[in-house]
Amino acid sequence: MDERHKKILQRNRTNLVKELEPSSLYDLLLEKRVFTQDMIDEIQSAGTRRDQARQLVRDLETRGSRAFPLFLESLEETGQVRLVQALRDGSSLGTLQPSAPPVLRPTLQPLPIVSLMDVDEKIIIPPIPIPPIPPIPPISPMQKRSTTPTPSPEGDVLRPKPQRTRKDSIQSYKMDATPCGHCLIINNVEFEQKSDLNNRTGSNVDCDKLQRRFTNLNFIVEVKTNLRQKQIRQELSALSKKDHSVFDCCVVIILSHGTEVSHNRFPGAVYGVDGLYVPVQHVTNFLNGQHCPSLQGKPKLFFIQACGGGEKDTGFEFSPEDETAPSCGGGEDNQTDAIPTSSSSDSLSMSDEPDARVSLPTPSDILVSYSTFPGYVSWRDTQAGSWYVETLDRVLSENASTDDLVTMLMMVNHEVSQNSAKGLYKQMPGSFNFLRKLFYFQPRAQEHQS
């Protein structure tokens, strides 16, 4: 797309997101070959109308020189004339607001009383009569003079309001259903040769641990192994179509290779065994309130054991007195879940757009826990499994009956940050938390014995 057209779109992006009706454009943009069906599907999966409009405008900038005029044609055909006018003129939508009719002001005669506001403010406020203030009751010698404000006209002394307890800070999600919900584990171990991705030796160790752990945490656990990109989407779609009405929660765990991709909500993507990826934000969309009504208002938890990119963190030197010395996470058996360096750079250079860091919407009741910081590799021991899953499993075993999930994830973050691969490389897990309440698992009675 020409730079001039890109600048017009960027200048009008805010109002385009506010006013554009993307659903009416999809068939036309497909017919005019502005977008492919796959691109339309991705835009539709972005979420709300505003999210879809934002994604459409962003993707439009990556298309060819004919994309802009064809976009204008489609807007005109669907009756979105105001947008057509602004984009065709190259102006900003803000300049097209209808002007207000002229205000006829009467000639003002001098008044004996000065108004409280300037005439140009178009409002004249007459003097306000002040009611008499009742006398202040005398203070006895033993009484300490109050430092509170003067009594109000009603005679009530203003006292500092007691601090309100924020209910959302003490409420917890309902978690008393038995079982409490579904848990889908996608474990990609053996990758097709065409994918240029190595097999993930040790991932079965992770899968077995998590299957046992979430079974003990009272979930219906289902494991799917070695799925292609399309199959990952199909399994998530099938999960979203289940009736979750009798359950209190839903969990998705993905163990695979990963990479950094463009995003407007949740960073990162996970690979199918065919070498094609699914963005994490699309993974979460399947279970959000719009696409899975029976999970509205209920916690949806996602645990991603995969790389967020190809960078390796060498950490920094520090010597705090109250910290234990960083432990070594093993030696030659450590592997990463990143795509190969050459493949990674090729993949990112072919991306339709740079990594987007726009303002985040707030999809409620979703938490995404990542094994590593976006952009960095995630380490996995071929014998013991990944650092993240091994630590997560242990922390859940020891603390799930007493601590909330966010607290336990901070424990995981701290412990994993102490590990060191080959005596050099570090790893920092993290999460995107959009839960509205505290989340406590309900372990089975025998959980403390496991």
Enumerate the active-site residues.
Answer: 257, 307
- Cis status of the peptide bond prior to 149, with omega within 30 of 0: no
Tokens of 53: 């409009």
Compute the distance between CA of residue 85 and CA of residue 107 in angstroms, rounded to an integer: 40
Other Cβ atoms within 10 Å of 361 Cβ, number: 15
DSSP β-bridge partners for residue 166: none
Which residues neighbour 187 within 8 Å (Cβ) at sequence distance 6 or greater? 203, 204, 206, 207, 223, 224, 225, 226, 255, 256
